[in-house]
Amino acid sequence: MEPIRVYDNPPRDAWPALTARVTRDDAEIDRRVAAILNEVRTGGDEALRRIARRIEGFAPERFELPQAQLDEAARSISPELKTALATAKANIEAFHRAQLPYPVAVEVMPGVRCSQRAVAIRRVGLYVPGGSAPLFSTVLMLAVPAAIAGCTEIVLCTPAGRDGSIAPEIRYAAALCGVRRVFALGGAQAVAAMAYGTESVPRVDKIFGPGNRYVTRAKQLVGAEGTAIDLPAGPSEVLVLADEGASPDFAAADLLSQAEHGADSQAVLVCRTVAFARRVNDALRRQTAVSPRNAILRESLAQSRIVVFDSQDDMLDFAEAYAPEHLIVSLRDPWPAARRITTAGSVFVGDYAPESAGDYASGTNHTLPTGGCARAYSGVNIDSFLRRITYQELTREGLRALAPTVVAMARAEGLDAHAEAVRIRLEGGVR
């Protein structure tokens, strides 16, 4: 049996099924998450301790890490990793700083001046997956643009490991990025704490970061209640576009780099021939056999797929229909195809741009829309941490020139007080 099932030139009416993600019955998750949110909302820190004892088997005396634990983490980090983190941070800073917007100021007509400026969201909450696989790279991806944007308070929540401690890599990355408030909190309860606030965890204005289905659902629920969130982010995914000039080994490695995230991750290869699909499946067998995450890879690959199209136009149309979180364009002439793509979280162009480069250190952000949300959402960027405020200033002459337009529109909508606010300025006095 092939590691990934191959579909040869499927008709377009079969594409919806082939672009569907892994679906699970989330009714029980919804019930559990809603209960956790309500428990934290009404119970604060004591509720967080009850939930920690119930789920993790222990509850820390205090959730916030003392500054000394952030500072001493440097002693546990190898020089090689420190150098890697410094390089990644510099690249992420360079790319995100270049995204800072310019102020806008326009005199739209004589005496009517409109302007816009960007201001940072004051207090942001960052969720960083931890526990058995501490994703310290996510600290860089979220904390660096938050700092560049000028967010005045950054709160970071991450689950503790089995021994109750936070991985030194996460603590070091937080200190490197200037994050001073780190809480040993994970799961839906961490999202609840940041959304509602507790005695020790401050309420934030917007929550960022990836997580499991419980974290994702918690973000969606608090988002519906008024706490802003970055984007819907579910299981990770990749789609690789490859022609006969591509390396089957490269393509297999790219598929596995996403499949290893979890059993519900999805990897899709879209290629030109069945022969190439078979070579990739052979490479998948070889690479999976020697991977320490073999069990997760096999489960993830079982729900992944290879789709073969004779036409490159069909390949690109299928990629657009799938709207992947990560899109790898491994074609002989990749840029014309890459420029046609309009629905993808992040695009990796050419044979030497693996998805892992963007996950860690190329400079782009790895917090990206999944599940087809790339049709409408961007990945996290500098704008995610900013709000834009508009201003207008009118002279008396400017208002007089604009008045006929405003009054006509206000009266047509039946909003006479709007028209009166203009008239009273120009004519003086109350009728």
Calculate ∠ Cα 340-269-215, nearest 5°. Answer: 90
Which residue segment(s) compose the domain that 81 sits in? 27-230
Last residue of a domain, one of 230, 255, 280: 230
State the number of CA atoms in the 13 A half-sphere of 250 facing the CB: 19
65 and 205 part of one domain: yes
State the number of CA atoms in the 13 A half-sphere of 147 facing the CB: 18
Q: Within a 10 A sphere around the Cβ of 409, how many other Cβ atoms? A: 12
185 and 316 part of one domain: no
Nearest to 65 by CA among 198, 159, 194: 159
Identified catalytic residue from 325, 355, 366, 393: 325
Q: Six-digit token pair at 224?
A: 């519906």
pLDDT at 264: 87
Q: How far is CA 93 from CA 122, 147, 256, 345, 372, in A?
A: 20, 9, 28, 19, 28
Q: What is the DSSP letter of 75?
A: G
Reduce the DSSP state of residue 118 to 3 states and report it: strand
131 and 261 part of one domain: no
Catalytic residue check, 46: no
Nearest to 177 by CA among 209, 208, 207, 145: 145
Range list of H helices, 56-110: 67-72, 79-97
pLDDT at 56: 84
pLDDT band with cut points at 50, 70 and 90 for residue 183: very high
In this prediction, residues 418-429 reach a mean pLDDT of: 91
265 is a domain residue: yes
Residue ranges at the known binding site for NAD(+): 127, 189, 212
> Are the C-beta atoms of residues 311 and 271 closer than 8 Å to each other?
no
Q: Six-digit token pair at 74?
A: 């440097």
In this prediction, residues 24-31 reach a mean pLDDT of: 83
Last residue of a domain, one of 230, 258, 273: 230
User: Rounded CA gap, 296 and 86, in Å?
Assistant: 31
> Are the C-beta atoms of residues 154 and 181 closer than 8 Å to each other?
yes
Q: Six-digit token pair at 51?
A: 């939930």
Number of domains in the chain: 3
254 and 307 part of one domain: yes
User: Rounded CA gap, 210 and 188, in Å?
Assistant: 12
Residue ranges at the known binding site for Zn(2+): 258, 261, 359, 418
Percent helix, strand, coil in the chain, to 5, is 50, 15, 35
265 and 177 part of one domain: no
19 is a domain residue: no
Q: List pLDDT tens digits, range 191-215.
A: 999 999 999 999 999 999 998 889 9
239 and 367 part of one domain: yes
**Helix pair 396-412, 416-427: axis angle to 10 deg:** 150
Q: List pLDDT tens digits, range 293-332.
A: 999 999 999 999 999 999 999 999 999 999 999 999 999 9
312 and 327 part of one domain: yes
7 is a domain residue: no
Residue ranges at the known binding site: 127, 189, 212, 236, 258, 261, 326, 359, 413, 418
N-terminal to C-terminal alpha carbon distance within the chain? 85
Residue ranges at the known binding site for substrate: 236, 258, 261, 326, 359, 413, 418
Strand partners, 158: 184
Q: List pLDDT tens digits, range 132-148.
A: 678 999 999 999 999 99
User: Rounded CA gap, 193 and 198, in Å?
Assistant: 6
Catalytic residue check, 96: no
239 and 219 part of one domain: no
Reduce the DSSP state of residue 366 to 3 states and report it: coil
Last residue of a domain, one of 175, 195, 230: 230
60 is a domain residue: yes
Nearest to 167 by CA among 76, 81, 238, 88: 76
239 and 216 part of one domain: no
Residue 259, pLDDT > 60, answer yes
Identified catalytic residue from 96, 320, 326, 366: 326
Quote the radius of gyration of the chain (alpha carbons, Å): 25
Find the helix or strand (DSSP H, E) in which 113 lies. strand 112-120
> Are the C-beta atoms of residues 186 and 159 closer than 8 Å to each other?
yes
Residue 131, pLDDT > 80, answer no
